[in-house]
Amino acid sequence: MHWVLDVLFHEDASRLGSATAKMSFVRRFVTTLLERDTYKRSPKGRRKTVVRNTGLLENVLFA
């Protein structure tokens, strides 16, 4: 899980100060949503595709 978060969100390089725990939760939540999706791409590719395609974003959020 740590590797996925670091590759997808560059978690090790982030400098959020006191918001680190909150953003960590959001990142893990997003990663879980992307893993539930059946779209056949790498995790990084799925994240980029969901950002560009609002229909797919709705499927990921409300499935």
Q: What residue segments make up the domains of the chain, in order of their start?
A: 2-62
Could you read off the pLDDT tens digit of each residue along the chain, which spans 63 residues?
666 766 666 666 666 777 777 777 877 888 888 888 777 788 788 888 888 888 888 888 887
Question: Which pLDDT value is given to residue 6?
Answer: 63
Q: How far apart are CA 41 and CA 13, in angstroms?
A: 25
> How many Cβ atoms sit within 10 Å of the Cβ of residue 20?
12
Question: Which pLDDT value is given to residue 1?
Answer: 62
The conformation of residue 10, written as its DSSP 8-state character, comes to -
Q: How far apart are CA 29 and CA 41, in angstroms?
A: 19
Q: How far apart are CA 58 and CA 7, in angstroms?
A: 24
